Structure 1
Amino acid sequence: MVQSNGAVSRGGAAGTVPNGSTIVSLSGVGKKFESGTVALSDVDLCVARGEFLSLLGPSGCGKSTVLRLIAGLDRPTTGRIAWGGERRPRDIGFVFQEPTLMPWARVYDNVWLPLRLKGMSAREAEPRIVEALESVGLQDFHRAYPRELSGGMKMRVSIARALATDPTVLLMDEPFAALDEITRFKLNDDLLRLWKERGWTIIFVTHSVFESVYLSTRIAVMTSRPGRIAEEIAIDEPSPRSPNFRMSAHYADFARATSDALSRAMGGA
């Protein structure tokens, strides 16, 4: 693990859970697609309840595949995924890289969608939808169409849609990758605020060393395909974090150590 002095433990980190009970664990998980591509090999990872875990690695290393397996959208070829409550919870939220909004529907109806699919009427769902939109600062845009929103606002709608389901676990697949830096920083701060308020467990996929250090309580660094967990880095800084953290010596130390771990995972010196 990385401590405040920037020291990193090498070599795999399968399995220790920092400060909390395990909510989900992956043991020896591998994934081979019908095309013959081996996306994952022998992935061992434990996620603690309430932590913010980032998966960091090069393109094509299987980060998104890990999320899909945890969500139950696909099945591992080998290995086992176990939940602390024995069964996968039904209230898993998934925020994709693209907002994936229905262009013909207003913001309100886009947020209602997952609740409607669960059989919840508009009247039943209204308190949840209103609260979710207020949480992301879009209460005044509930009647807008996606075409009328900026990229950052569309992503807020996507987050609100996940929030409305009141998830135990929130899976996020590079949700801010396409946004400009100012918008990305603002949404990083909003996400940290919601994580603390809601008590979510978040598993977050990113290519950015700097984003992973700012957001995470722990970073799992993955190797190139077939992906596996090469190292884990604990970001031992209090939360919520202020923007001043990005300017601190600790942040620079963590970013340097994480970058070095990523280089090793990719076969660098």
Structure 2
Amino acid sequence: MVQAARVRATATGGARPLVTVRGVTKQFANGTIAVRDVNLDLATGEFVSLLGPSGCGKSTLLRMIAGLGDPSVGTIDWPTAMHDASGHAERDLGFVFQDPTLMPWATALANVTLPLRLKGVKGREAEDRGAEMLALVGLKGFETSYPRELSGGMKMRVSIARALVTHPKILLMDEPFAALDEITRHRLNDDLLGLWEANRFTAVFVTHSVFESVYLSQRIVVMAARPGRVMADLRVEAPYPRDELFRTSADYAHWCRIASEKLKEAIAS
């Protein structure tokens, strides 16, 4: 039976969230307000999509969560993280950009092991862990291949492997599959869900696709533009694992319709 939509009031159900965003506004030097008064909790092990039109501040918010930019107003905290002597949280995260951003002169394995080497992991241990991660994303046998020898989907798999090789608590993804063909995109959606279900990291996925957000997510945070703000926080009550049968089900169509309506309301606001 198709369940009724339910807007989620809180992400954590009383437990301490992994990340808290409180009253965050970002204004750039030219006066543009990218996001305004955003409040959001991210719980351990959940899959959240940030859904909205281009220019609604999804990527800006993601980058601030990653520490790649600071809010103009408000706070982004990691309540359960370790803090350094200056009181700054040690963000345990991986980031996947819109483009694979691979080093063209390095092999797939060397690209994946870069975060390990930056953390001081060397030699055979780094190579073994990198090769294991490449195998998990379906690239066993491509360890010595260079980016120029890989397809777009394969390069994105290397990027995901690199982001996950340190086993971060949270994986932040900024429209990583937007430039790929539909078949490759569906396959990578499936692979991403498999990795998430096996490892249960927190996933935050930026997309402007209703269909992708419903297929992947437990929660869909719908954002409106100019300035970017949260308009709805929708809980997708559909079980995992999700596969091609789910993509053609009445349940999937139901949640896509609800998410589309919320997005339409956000755009019109």
**Which residue of 2 is the match for residue 35 of structure 1?**
30
Identify the residue that residue 182 of structure 1 maps to in structure 2. 183
CA RMSD between the two structures: 1.6
TM-score (norm 1): 0.93
Q: Which digits, 9 at most, give the CA deviation of each residue in 1:115-144, with x for residues without a partner?
A: 122222232312210111110111200000
Query: Cα distance 1:249–1:18, how it changes in 2: closer, same or farther (>3 A)?
Result: farther
Number of corresponding residues? 262
Conserved in 2, the CA contact under 8 Å of 1:52 and 1:215? yes
Tell me if structure 2 keeps the 8 A contact 1:6–1:257: no
DSSP 3-state at the match of 1:116: helix
Q: Distance in 2 between matches of 1:236 and 1:122?
A: 45
| Matched-pair contact (CA < 8 Å) for 1:54–1:206 | yes
Moved over 6 A (4+): none
Q: What TM-score do the two structures reach when normalised by structure 2? A: 0.93
Identical residues among aligned pairs (%) = 58
Q: Does 1:75 find its partner at 2:70?
A: yes
Question: Is 2:120 the counterpart of 1:108?
Answer: no
What stretches of structure 2 of length at least 5 have no aligned partner?
Answer: 84-88
Structure 1 residues 189-228: Cα deviation after superposition (integer angstroms, max 9, x where no partner): 0000000111110000001000000000000000112111
**2:166 corresponds to:** 165
Secondary structure of the 1:105 match is coil
Contact kept, 8 Å, 2:3 with 2:237, in 1: the verdict is no
User: Within 1, Cα distance between the matches of 2:268 and 2:152?
Assistant: 35
2:238 match: 237
Match of 2:58 in 1: 63
Contact 1:29-1:79 at 8 Å conserved across structures? yes
Provide Cα deviations, 1:171-205, integer angstroms capped at 9, x if missing partner.
00000000000000000000000001111100000
> How far apart in 1 are the matches of 2:167 and 2:6?
35
Structure 2 Cα separation of the partners of residues 263 and 45 of structure 1: 21
Give the distance between the partners of 1:59 and 1:4, measured in 2 at CA. 31
Closer, same or farther: CA 255–211 of 1 in aligned 2, 3 Å:
same
Partner of 2:137: 136
2:86 aligned partner? none
Is the 2:5–2:234 Cα contact (8 Å) retained in structure 1? no
Residue of structure 2 equivalent to 1:85: 80
